[in-house]
């Protein structure tokens, strides 16, 4: 009995192949072995039959697509020797940590799947006997069921079994017993399939042959398969019923609405397996801010809750929540079209994907109409970004954002190192990296040049990443073309915010929850912190009782704001508003005036830009002194690719 174990980092490479990355792999030389060919290798003469009749393979790696750019640099995985195939009857039990396009989670330094599997193997081998792998896998299945119910874990291990205990091939599925309504839908689906098959003898064999390339579970033993066998085969595979429907109808007119309804009742899915895998792979090539953008597009279009940005979970949620009405364009395709209209490196591939789906459904005319509307909407946002933001568009929408990291000053004075990036959609570019500390005046001149070349006036969000001790820097009052004929304030031309990601690590889930609330909240939902609270303990205690508040307004005097800021950062508060100069009573009155007219919280950066514009003409205007922390957890500073083991 041979056991093969592979853990580390894995990716979904070109053509959907699973690449198990070699330890020496690095960001610009991504190489790995093809996972599927590993099973074929075990059936060749490279492993003599006389030496080993039974093999167990365990793979605990991710299977997620790489980001754009990195994906193109990745080599196709190495195919292991697969000839000659002499031992087709060798018993193979292949356990995999996750499904295609998904992530294998970590737990206390070890793979979650490995930890669960080892517990089940230990329990099954307690009496010293060889473990019963069927019972072991059932235990793994039950434990992941509990993790999904209790903790929301989305990881879905799979297993493939060949010639184990005299069975030819089988694959465990997570299909649960059908309730009475689903039983009726199954029977209706069988009748619908039978009706399509009876009109053309021999069609069942042709359909089954094509499904062998799509489904991972063994095909029916009967040739030709019956309608009932085809339906049950489809139900054993995710997206199986939609795939069966697509193969049965082919180039013909789309199947009757009853067929679609039965498919939805049984699996709550309408994408075929190939369409699903392709979309997961495309979203996997986006970075997290890119996936956040498509989630924001969905939230702007429909009232949906999308708690996870992991590609598989995001596609699952969009597909399940946005089921298509009969003969209408699926909402998911509308979301994809609006996101693709904003541009980006995968926009063309997303357009091709959605058109293929629409053609299968016979809705390509509706898709072209939606595409034209989405492109017109994107053009309007480009032409009138200020209006688009007021209507609820993300403040870093079509104009993207400029991200500036200001390092703390070194030694005496205010000289600092700094770095600058531009972010448009999922595209991130480094614009400047000043390792030699510069004065604030030099930094302002450098930013003026960069913004002129890489930003859109009124539209581009300018984000300053600073240390907690630097939150009081009035960066929105920094001057462009200082002392020149075109002198003006930075906060007049651009929506300017400060950010600070320190003290966030232990409260990230609270940070994300509050930010999610900020997407739909109004300015009236901000929590006004009492001015007399000036210690970390007091402010933290107050915030703990306001766990759903999307942000806070600070009226504490300047001498106490450092403690207040630290408590807010630690408490996961993503939006902070404060008056830079006034004492509490005056600050409260002017902040109330500043918030008047800001109906939705997500428009606050643009709303403050307008107020700051007025303050250039009138230095007593309250907009001049209002500062905003706007800390989106899904738009971090760029990071290098992490190839660590799960």
CA dihedral 103, 107, 112, 115 (to 10 degrees): 160
Cα separation of 130 and 346, whole Å? Answer: 50
Question: Model-level pTM?
Answer: 0.53
Q: Strands, E, within 158-197: which ranges?
A: 158-162, 169-172
Cα separation of 83 and 90, whole Å? Answer: 15
Helix (H, G, I), strand (E, B) or coil at 371: helix
CB 27 within 8 A of CB 643: yes
Helix (H, G, I), strand (E, B) or coil at 547: coil
Q: What is the residue-wise DSSP string for 597-624?
A: T--BGGGHHHHHHHHHHHHHH-TTSGGG
The pLDDT score that the predictor gives to residue 11 is: 81
Q: Is the pLDDT of residue 398 over 60?
A: no
Q: Is 610 exposed, middle or buried (0-12, 13-18, 19+ CB in 10 A)?
A: middle
Handedness of CA 484, 486, 490, 491 (dihedral sign): positive
What would the mean pLDDT of 236-264 be, rounded to a whole number? 76
Q: Outline where 520-576 has alpha helix (H).
A: 536-544, 561-570
Q: Strands, E, within 131-214: which ranges?
A: 158-162, 169-172
The pLDDT score that the predictor gives to residue 619 is: 73
Greater pLDDT, 623 or 270: 270
Cα separation of 415 and 436, whole Å? Answer: 9
Tokens 């909240």 correspond to 521
Q: The domain 2-172: what is its CATH number?
A: 3.40.50.1460
The confidence band for 303, taking pLDDT boundaries of 50, 70 and 90, is: low
The pLDDT score that the predictor gives to residue 153 is: 74
CB 498 within 8 A of CB 628: yes
The confidence band for 387, taking pLDDT boundaries of 50, 70 and 90, is: very low
Cα separation of 447 and 424, whole Å? Answer: 18
In the structure encoding, which two tokens stand for residue 339, read together? Answer: 């996101």
Q: Is the pLDDT of residue 390 over 50?
A: no
The pLDDT score that the predictor gives to residue 171 is: 47
Q: What is the residue-wise DSSP string for 288-311?
A: HHHHHHHHHHHHHHS-------SH
The pLDDT score that the predictor gives to residue 641 is: 40
Question: Strands of 18-21's sheet, edge to edge?
Answer: 32-34, 18-21, 10-12, 64-65
The pLDDT score that the predictor gives to residue 199 is: 75
Cα separation of 358 and 318, whole Å? Answer: 16
Cα separation of 533 and 475, whole Å? Answer: 26
CB 77 within 8 A of CB 24: no
User: Angle formed by the axes of helices 311-321 and 288-301, to 10°?
Assistant: 10
Cα separation of 583 and 588, whole Å? Answer: 8
Contacts of 435 (CB under 8 A, 6+ apart): 417
In the structure encoding, which two tokens stand for residue 89, read together? Answer: 């009857």
In the structure encoding, which two tokens stand for residue 145, read together? Answer: 């069921």
**Range picked from 64-78, 177-191, 463-477 for highest mean pLDDT:** 463-477
Cα separation of 535 and 539, whole Å? Answer: 6
The pLDDT score that the predictor gives to residue 340 is: 93
Average pLDDT, the chain: 81
Q: What angle do CA 407, 408, 410 make, to 5 degrees?
A: 110
Q: Is the pLDDT of residue 391 over 70?
A: no
Domain boundaries, the chain: 2-172, 180-267, 273-383, 401-630
Q: Strands, E, within 121-168: which ranges?
A: 158-162
């Amino acid at each position: 009995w041979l056991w093969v174990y592979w853990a580390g980092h894995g990716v979904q490479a070109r053509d959907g192949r699973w690449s198990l990355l070699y330890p020496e792999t690095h960001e610009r030389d991504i190489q790995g072995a093809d996972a599927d060919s590993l099973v074929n290798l075990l059936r060749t003469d490279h492993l003599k039959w006389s030496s080993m009749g039974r093999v167990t393979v365990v793979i605990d790696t991710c299977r997620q697509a790489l980001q754009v750019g990195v994906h193109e640099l990745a080599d196709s995985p190495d195919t292991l020797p697969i000839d000659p195939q002499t031992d087709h009857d060798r018993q193979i039990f292949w356990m995999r940590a996750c499904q295609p396009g998904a992530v294998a989670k970590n737990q206390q330094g070890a793979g979650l799947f490995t930890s669960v599997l080892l517990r089940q193997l230990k329990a099954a081998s307690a009496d010293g006997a060889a473990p019963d792998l069927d019972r072991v896998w059932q235990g793994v299945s039950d434990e992941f069921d509990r993790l999904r119910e209790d903790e929301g874990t989305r990881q879905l291990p799979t297993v493939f079994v060949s010639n184990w205990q005299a069975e030819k091939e089988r694959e465990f599925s997570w299909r649960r017993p059908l309730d009475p309504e689903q039983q009726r839908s199954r029977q209706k689906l069988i009748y619908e399939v039978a009706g399509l098959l009876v009109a053309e003898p021999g069609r069942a064999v042709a359909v089954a042959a094509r499904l062998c390339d799509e489904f991972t579970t063994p095909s029916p033993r009967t040739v030709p398969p019956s309608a009932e066998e085809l339906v049950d085969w489809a139900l054993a595979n995710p997206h199986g019923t939609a795939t069966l429907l697509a193969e049965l109808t082919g180039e013909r007119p789309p199947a009757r609405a009853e067929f679609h309804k039965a498919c939805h009742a049984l699996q709550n899915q309408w994408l075929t397996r190939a369409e699903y895998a392709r979309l997961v792979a495309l979203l996997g090539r986006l970075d997290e801010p890119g996936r956040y953008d498509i989630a924001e597009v969905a939230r702007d279009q429909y009232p949906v809750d999308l708690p996870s940005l992991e590609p598989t979970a995001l596609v699952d949620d969009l597909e399940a929540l946005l089921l298509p009405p009969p003969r209408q364009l699926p909402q998911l395709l509308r979301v994809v079209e609006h996101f693709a209209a904003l541009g980006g490196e995968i926009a063309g591939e997303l357009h091709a994907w959605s058109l293929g789906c629409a053609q299968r459904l016979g809705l390509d005319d509706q898709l072209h109409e939606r595409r034209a509307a989405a492109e017109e909407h994107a053009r309007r946002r480009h032409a009138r970004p200020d209006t688009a933001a007021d209507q609820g568009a993300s403040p870093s929408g079509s104009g993207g954002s400029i991200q500036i990291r200001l390092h703390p000053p070194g030694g005496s004075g205010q000289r600092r190192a700094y770095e600058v990036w531009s972010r448009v959609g999922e595209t991130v570019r480094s614009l400047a990296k000043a390792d030699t500390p510069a004065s604030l005046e030099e930094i302002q001149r450098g930013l003026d040049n960069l913004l002129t070349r890489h930003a859109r006036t009124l539209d581009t969000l300018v984000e300053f990443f600073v240390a907690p001790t630097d939150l009081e820097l009035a960066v929105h009052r920094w001057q462009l073309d200082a002392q020149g004929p075109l002198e003006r304030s930075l906060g007049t031309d651009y929506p300017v915010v400060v950010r600070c990601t320190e003290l966030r690590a232990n409260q990230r889930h609270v940070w994300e929850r509050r930010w999610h609330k900020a997407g739909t909240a109004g300015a009236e939902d901000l929590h006004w912190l009492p001015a007399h609270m000036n210690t970390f303990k007091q402010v933290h205690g107050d915030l703990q009782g306001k766990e759903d508040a999307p942000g806070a307004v600070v009226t504490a005097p300047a001498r106490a704001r450092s403690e207040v800021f630290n408590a807010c950062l630690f408490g996961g508060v993503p939006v902070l508003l404060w008056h830079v100069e006034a004492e509490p009573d005056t600050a409260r009155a002017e902040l109330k005036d500043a918030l008047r007219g800001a109906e939705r919280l997500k428009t606050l950066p643009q709303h403050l830009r307008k107020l700051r514009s007025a303050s250039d003409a009138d230095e007593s205007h309250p907009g001049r002194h209002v500062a905003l922390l706007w800390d989106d957890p899904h738009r971090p500073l760029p990071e290098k690719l992490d190839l660590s083991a799960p």
